[in-house]
C-alpha cells in the first residue's frame, strides 16, 4: 500500500469529491475524471507536498486546504463562467483559469521579501488584479512571420 493514501482513498479525497458533486448537481455541468484528479492532486498537495516556508506562515497549510475545499463549488462556477463552459469542465479549463488567477488568490507570497496584500476571499480583487496584468505572449506564437 502507498505510504500516503491516494486522494480517492482518503477522507480529504471524499470531501473533495462531495464538493465537486455539489457543483455538478447544482449547475448540471460535469467535471471530467481528469479534471477531478487534478483538483484532488492540487488540493491535497497544499498539505502533503507543502512548500517548506508555508509551514512557518499563517494561515497554516491545513487551514488553506480546508478553505479551498469548502470553496470548490464556487471556484468551479467561476471556472465555468470564465472559460465559457456549458457541458463539461476539462483539465485544460482548470489549468487555463489557474494560470491567470493563482498568484492573486494564493495566500502565500512567492518569496520571503514580499507579503501578500490581496484578500484571497475577494473575487472582485481577483477581477481587478486581472485587468492590471499585461497581455501575455502566446508560447506558440512567434514574432517572426
Q: What is the pLDDT along the chain (145 residues), one digit of tens a residue?
A: 344 444 444 678 899 999 999 999 999 999 999 999 999 999 999 888 888 877 777 778 888 899 999 999 999 999 999 999 999 999 999 999 999 888 877 787 776 544 444 455 544 444 445 445 544 444 444 455 4
- In a 13 Å sphere around the CA of 31, the CA atoms on its Cβ side amount to 26
Instruction: Supply the pLDDT for residue 123.
Output: 45
Mean per-residue pLDDT over the chain, rounded:
77
Q: Which of 58, 73, 60, 59 is nearest to 15 (CA)?
A: 73
Instruction: Supply the pLDDT for residue 73.
Output: 97
Instruction: Supply the pLDDT for residue 111.
Output: 64
DSSP helix/strand/coil, 129: helix
Q: Where are the alpha helices (DSSP H) in the chain?
A: 11-27, 33-48, 61-70, 72-82, 91-105, 123-132
Whole-model pTM: value is 0.69
Instruction: Supply the pLDDT for residue 95.
Output: 95
Instruction: Supply the pLDDT for residue 143.
Output: 52
Instruction: Supply the pLDDT for residue 53.
Output: 78
Q: How far apart are CA 95 and CA 140, in angstroms?
A: 17
Amino acid at each position: 500500500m502507498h505510504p500516503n493514501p491516494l486522494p480517492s482513498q482518503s477522507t480529504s479525497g471524499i470531501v473533495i469529491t462531495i464538493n465537486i458533486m455539489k457543483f455538478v448537481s447544482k449547475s448540471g455541468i460535469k467535471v471530467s475524471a481528469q479534471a477531478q484528479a487534478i483538483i484532488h492532486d492540487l488540493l491535497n498537495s497544499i498539505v502533503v507536498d507543502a512548500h517548506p516556508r508555508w509551514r512557518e506562515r499563517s494561515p497554516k497549510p491545513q487551514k488553506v486546504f480546508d478553505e479551498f475545499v469548502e470553496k470548490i463549488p464556487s471556484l468551479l462556477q467561476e471556472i465555468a463562467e470564465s472559460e465559457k463552459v456549458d457541458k463539461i469542465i476539462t483539465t485544460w479549463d482548470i489549468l487555463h483559469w489557474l494560470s491567470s488567477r493563482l498568484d492573486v488568490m494564493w495566500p502565500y507570497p512567492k518569496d520571503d521579501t514580499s507579503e501578500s496584500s490581496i484578500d484571497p476571499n475577494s473575487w472582485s480583487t481577483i477581477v481587478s488584479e486581472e485587468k492590471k496584468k499585461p497581455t501575455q505572449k502566446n508560447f506558440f506564437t512567434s514574432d517572426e512571420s
